[in-house]
Every structure is written in C-alpha cells, then in structure tokens.
C-alpha cells in the first residue's frame, strides 16, 4: 500500500474514534508541552545570564568593601559590610604611570530615592559617580550629555536619567533642561532639585540590575549633600569602584597590584576589600536568578512521567484496537495485504496520534512559555526563550514514542493468522 493510502487509512481509523484518539493524545500533549516550557525557561535563564555578563561592559574588575575570604565573597557582593573604600582609592588606582593596564576607573555610591517631576513620581536607584563611568561600564548617554568634569568640580545639581525613568517621569516630553525633585531620608524629608542634562541609551537588565531604571548624579554632589557617606577621617566612602582594563590577560596582575596598593593605603594586614572579576560577579548573580533546581527537577519529572504514561497509554489503546479490529485485519489480509502493509497501518496510526499530540503539545508549550515570559512565578522572575531546536526535539521525541510503543501492537496485528482473524467475532 502506498504511503499516502496508509496515512489516509490510518487517519480514517483515528477519526472513527475521535474521543479515544484525543484521550490517547493527552499524555503526549502534557509531556511535550512540559518539555517545551522547561527548555524555554532553561534556555531563557541561560541567555539572561550570558546577556547580563555581556551587558556589564568588558574587562572589568569590581572593588567592593569587605573581607576577601572566599566564604565571605558572597557577603561582599550583597553588602552588609562596613564601608571601607573611599573615592581617593579610586583616584589612586587611576594612575597610568603605576598601572599602565588600567583604562579607566569609576567609583560609585548608590541609594534608593524617590523622584518627582512633571506631576509624576517613581522610585529608582540613584548613582553618584564620575564622568568616566560611561566608558568604564560601556554604557553611554543617548540624548543630551553625561556628567562632565565641570559638574564634578562645582558639585553641580545635575542629573542624567535612565531610559525608563525618563519615560516614566516625562512620557513623550523632552526631559532635557527640566527639573527633577529627589527625596531621600525617612519619609523623603530631604529633597533636592536636579536639572536633567541627559538621558541614557536603553540597555536592559544586567547582573547589576535594570540599567534603564537609574539616575546618575556627580559623586561629589552626593557626598556633599548626604552626610552619612563621610567616614570618621573625613573622607568620603564609596560602595564600589569599577576598573576597566585594556586587556583581559592583565586581570591577575591588576588584581595583585591593586590589592597591594589598597592594603598600603588602608594600612591593614587583612584585606578590608574584595576584588572580583566581572565573571565572578555574574556567576554569583546567576546562581541567584537561575531557576531553582527543585522546580526544574519537578518539571522534568512531570514531563518524563507524562511522556512515558502517554506512550504506555498509546500501546494499551493500540493493543485494544488491534483486538477489536482483528476481523478487519483478516479481511485486509484476504484482500492481499502483506504483513508489512498491516504493520505500517497500525504503526502509522500510533505515529499520527503521538505526532498530533506532539504538535498540540508544542503549541501549548509555546503559549505557556510566552505567557510565563517576564512574569514572576514562585518568587522567581521567569524568562523563557523558545528555540527551534526544542520544537524539533519535542517532535522527534513524540515520533520516537509513537514508534517505540506502537511497534509491538502493530507487529502483533501483522502476525495474525488470516483465517483465525476472519472468524473472529
């Protein structure tokens, strides 16, 4: 029998038992949609991590306050440490004679604040930094200009808004030259007015947070206005110093030299700071944002079990179907159907059920992934990325299940004795 006739015959047989066929498909549908969703979420979080590492800029070292013991590295990343770095540390590192491999240095202080402008308000992270920040972090101003040396020296009340902050506060209106009120402290009791001089280019989320939801002001301005940032020696603390290197190969040398300099400057034996490469920072963040192992395992188990159950269900139904249609098989054999014809007919039926189940599962899985993408589920922000590979793989798996669980019933059917089959009631 030609393959088109085989498919037509199989389709007619399945269509004659619509309810049964669709129930048989159910296990495969659930399994395949779980596989698709699982892979989409897995791939999504992977891609998120990769992108956020790339988004950090290149060849970066981060210096943060805190002890450098390996066990405490995490603590350093998440804060809770005494502030030990000061802005002059940053300026000392930015010495081309001593550290020829350093391309740029940007100290920063960041805190949460409320912003009010043009009748709108929002909360955002305010970063006090220096003009070099944009080169160091590879994150540039889109419209207007970034903080200038002049803004630093005169401790100007100027601000550069992140892309989304500008949108939230000003909508379609041009924020350049407009005034933004910044409120800090308990109940927002301390307020300052800043003039907007620039808006950053859109960048998206990186390991250090959503880089479109920021506002930049000159570091000295912040230090001058917010007293808690001054330490007992009268120096101004910073939360982080980003160091951009000319070459990735200089990481080890730079780490060693900078550590020596800081130990000398801070006059300590035990390091009161930690130096991390951008990959180390990204890995720590990635571990936090990645979908939890438990959730992953649970979903994989659901997918695997329902695929196996679906397959067994198909085998069961096919065996029943062969028994029910024994007489039909006898008739077909009497009409000249070979064993191969009968085998193919039942195998194609099983394949059609699983492949149709696979197709519906793919549609369901893609819809689920699309729905879940960008949402927060079980306190985890989910990112789903559907790939062609996942879809092809899911199809392949459903075909393999059809073959694996369909071959035995089909073989049984093909081996039936035509005389006995013809007399089957």
Partner 1 sequence: MVKLTDITKVYLAGDVPVPALRGVNLEIQEGQFLAIMGPSGSGKSTLLNILGCLDKPTSGTYELDGLKVSALDEEQLAVIRNRKIGFVFQSFNLLRRLPAIEQVQLPLLYRKMPDRQRLALQALVDLGLADRLAHRPVQLSGGEQQRVAIARCLVTSPSLILADEPTGALDTATGHDIMRIFERLNVERGITIALVTHEREVAAYAHRIVHLQDGQIVSDELNSSSNRLSTAAEPPVGGGAGSEASTP
Instruction: Name the E strands within 96-152.
Output: 102-117, 120-129, 141-144
Q: Using the rule CB under 8 A, is 340 a contact of partner 1?
A: yes
- Rule CB under 8 A: choose which of 9, 148, 380, 412 binds partner 1: 9
**Could you tell me how many residues make up the chain?**
425
Residue with tokens 């020596």: 260
Q: Using the rule CB under 8 A, is 138 a contact of partner 1?
A: no
State the nearest-atom distance from the C-beta of 328 to partner 1, in Å. Answer: 6
Q: Which stretch binds partner 1 (CB under 8 A): 81-89, 100-108, 130-138, 415-423?
A: 415-423
Q: Using the rule CB under 8 A, is 26 a contact of partner 1?
A: no
State the nearest-atom distance from the C-beta of 317 to partner 1, in Å. Answer: 17
| C-alpha span between 304 and 284 (Å, rounded) | 30
Q: Using the rule CB under 8 A, is 152 a contact of partner 1?
A: no
Q: Which stretch binds partner 1 (CB under 8 A): 113-121, 273-281, 308-316, 417-425?
A: 417-425
- Beta-carbon contacts of 316 under 8 Å, excluding residues fewer than 6 positions away, are none
Q: Using the rule CB under 8 A, is 5 a contact of partner 1?
A: yes
Whether 89 and 272 have beta carbons less than 8 Å apart is answered as no
5 dihedral zone (left: phi>0; alpha: psi -120 to 50; beta): alpha
State the nearest-atom distance from the C-beta of 331 to partner 1, in Å. Answer: 5
Q: Using the rule CB under 8 A, is 19 a contact of partner 1?
A: no
Q: How wide is the angle at C-alpha 106 spanned by C-alphas 193 and 55, nearest 5°? A: 95
Q: Which stretch binds partner 1 (CB under 8 A): 4-12, 89-97, 101-109, 361-369?
A: 4-12
Site for partner 1 in 154-183 (CB under 8 A): none
| C-alpha span between 158 and 73 (Å, rounded) | 35
Q: Which stretch binds partner 1 (CB under 8 A): 76-84, 86-94, 179-187, 334-342?
A: 334-342
Closer to partner 1 by CB, 298 or 419: give it.
Answer: 419
H/E stretch holding 217: strand 214-218
Measured CA distances, 19 to 24, 26, 360 (Å): 9, 11, 16
Bridge-partner residues for 161, per DSSP? Answer: 199, 215
State the nearest-atom distance from the C-beta of 318 to partner 1, in Å. Answer: 18
Q: Using the rule CB under 8 A, is 383 a contact of partner 1?
A: no
Q: How wide is the angle at C-alpha 102 spanned by C-alphas 99 and 106, nearest 5°? A: 120
Q: Using the rule CB under 8 A, is 332 a contact of partner 1?
A: yes
- Rule CB under 8 A: choose which of 167, 257, 341, 385 binds partner 1: 341
Instruction: Name the E strands within 323-409.
Output: 376-377, 380-381
Closer to partner 1 by CB, 95 or 324: give it.
Answer: 324
Closer to partner 1 by CB, 136 or 318: give it.
Answer: 318
Q: Using the rule CB under 8 A, is 333 a contact of partner 1?
A: yes
State the nearest-atom distance from the C-beta of 20 to partner 1, in Å. Answer: 14
Closer to partner 1 by CB, 21 or 43: give it.
Answer: 21
Residue 51, class by beta-carbon neighbours within 10 Å (0-12 exposed, 13-18 middle, 19+ buried)?
middle
H/E stretch holding 63: strand 60-65
- Rule CB under 8 A: choose which of 320, 334, 371, 392 binds partner 1: 334
Closest CA to 213 of 167, 159, 148: 167
Instruction: Name the E strands within 118-149.
Output: 120-129, 141-144
Q: Are strands 120-129 and 214-218 parallel, antiparallel or unpaired?
A: parallel
Q: Using the rule CB under 8 A, is 16 a contact of partner 1?
A: yes
- Residues that bind partner 1 (rule: CB under 8 A) add up to a total of 24
Q: Using the rule CB under 8 A, is 322 a contact of partner 1?
A: no
Contacts with partner 1 by CB under 8 A lie at: 1-2, 5, 9, 12-13, 16, 327-328, 330-341, 418-419, 422
């Amino acid at each position: 029998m030609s393959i088109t006739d085989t498919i037509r015959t199989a389709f007619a047989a399945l269509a004659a038992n619509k309810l049964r066929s669709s129930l048989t498909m159910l296990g495969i549908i659930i399994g395949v949609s779980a596989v698709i969703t699982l892979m989409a979420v897995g791939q999504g979080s992977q891609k998120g991590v990769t992108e956020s590492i790339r988004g950090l800029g290149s060849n970066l070292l981060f210096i943060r306050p805190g002890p450098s013991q390996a066990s405490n590295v995490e603590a350093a990343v998440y804060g809770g440490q005494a502030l030990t770095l000061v802005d002059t540390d940053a300026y000392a590192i930015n010495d081309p004679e001593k550290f020829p491999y350093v391309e740029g240095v940007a100290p920063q202080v960041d805190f949460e604040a409320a912003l009010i402008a043009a009748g709108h308000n929002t909360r955002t992270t305010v970063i006090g930094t220096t003009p070099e920040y944009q080169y160091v972090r590879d994150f540039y101003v889109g419209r207007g200009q970034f903080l200038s040396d002049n803004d630093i020296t005169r401790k100007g009340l100027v601000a550069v808004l992140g892309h989304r902050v500008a949108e939230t506060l000003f909508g379609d209106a041009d924020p350049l030259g407009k005034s933004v009120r910044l409120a800090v402290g308990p109940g927002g009791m301390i307020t300052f007015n800043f003039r907007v001089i620039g808006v950053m280019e859109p960048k998206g989320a990186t390991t250090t947070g959503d880089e479109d939801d920021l506002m930049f002001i000159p570091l000295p301005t912040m230090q001058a206005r917010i007293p808690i940032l001054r330490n007992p020696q009268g120096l101004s603390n910073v939360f982080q110093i980003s160091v951009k290197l000319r070459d990735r190969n200089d990481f080890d040398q730079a780490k060693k030299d900078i550590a020596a300099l800081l130990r000398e400057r801070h006059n300590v034996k035990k390091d009161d700071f930690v130096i991390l490469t951008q990959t180390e920072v990204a890995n720590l963040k990635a571990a936090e944002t990645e979908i939890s192992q438990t959730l992953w395992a649970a979903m994989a188990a659901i997918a695997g079990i329902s695929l196996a159950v679906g397959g067994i269900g198909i085998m069961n139904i096919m065996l029943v179907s062969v028994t029910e249609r024994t007489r039909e098989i006898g008739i077909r054999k009497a009409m000249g159907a070979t064993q191969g014809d009968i085998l193919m007919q039942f195998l194609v039926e099983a394949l059609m059920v699983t492949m149709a189940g696979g197709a519906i599962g793919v549609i369901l899985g893609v819809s689920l992934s699309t729905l879940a993408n960008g949402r927060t589920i079980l306190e985890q922000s989910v990112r789903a990325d559907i790939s062609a590979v996942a879809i092809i793989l899911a199809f392949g798996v459903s075909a393999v299940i059809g073959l694996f669980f369909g071959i035995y019933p089909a073989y049984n059917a093909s081996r039936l004795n035509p005389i006995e089959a013809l007399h089957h009631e």
